[in-house]
Amino acid sequence: MKTIVITGANRGLGLEFTRQYLEAGNRVIATARHPEQSRELSQLKSHYGEKLMIYTLDVTDDASRNAFSKTVGNKVIHLLINNAGYYGDNKELGKLDTAEWLNVFEVNSIAPIKMVEVLRSNLVNAESATVVLLSSKMGSMTDNTSGGAYLYRSAKAALNAGAKSLSIDLADEKIKVVMLHPGWVLTDMGGPNALIDAQTSVQGMRRVIDGLKASQSGDFIAYDGTVVPW
């Protein structure tokens, strides 16, 4: 049984990751800003009991991250899934809001790296751990043929740059790092026109995670296993 930390676990992909990893017999530490508002998480807790631990965590807040780290203590963490994300109000050129842009950056780019910082020793203690950062093709320069979405695109591109550095800096500690594109998913963020459901996306990402080799650490991979161009 592995121990898995999932941020933003109250809905969408985070909730589906939680559900699937519990079904597979793992121990899950699920976090969200307001987990008590998630009826689905409560139902999972009722079913899985001690295998599911639920904690309040604001990934953008230093005090909240540090409190979470203290709560986790010296537990071994085999897999950290940085799922929490924020699309933001991506207005067109000429109407970009600086404060909103900074907010999108903090959630999507800075917070995932800071989560690795506070849980680094827990990951090291696993002796072979994996860090997953939920990215998006919208952070790919090559894939950008439509423009726009300045806030989200730039934040995910920054996340990818940080994750690549993580993969180098943590290699000697046997921690693999991977950026995953979940596909265009039917979630609150993905919207009603998305192409796949959360179950399909998470099943695919889990296959990528399970088969990830040390030589692939630092790669940008889609849920179907294909490498995403930078």
CATH of 3-222, one of 3.30.43.10, 3.50.50.60, 3.40.50.720, 3.40.190.150: 3.40.50.720
Tokens (6 digits) for 135: 């990215």
Question: Contact at 8 Å (CB) between 112 and 159?
Answer: yes
Query: What local confidence, expressed as pLDDT, does residue 157 receive?
Result: 98
130, containing H or E segment:
strand 129-134
- Reported as a single tens digit per residue, the pLDDT across 179-227 is 999 998 876 665 666 678 899 999 999 999 999 999 999 999 999 999 9
Mean pLDDT of the chain: 96
User: Where do the domains of the chain lie?
Assistant: 3-222
- Reported as a single tens digit per residue, the pLDDT across 112-149 is 999 999 999 999 999 999 999 999 999 999 999 999 99
- Reported as a single tens digit per residue, the pLDDT across 46-73 is 999 999 999 999 999 999 999 999 999 9
Tokens (6 digits) for 35: 């987990």
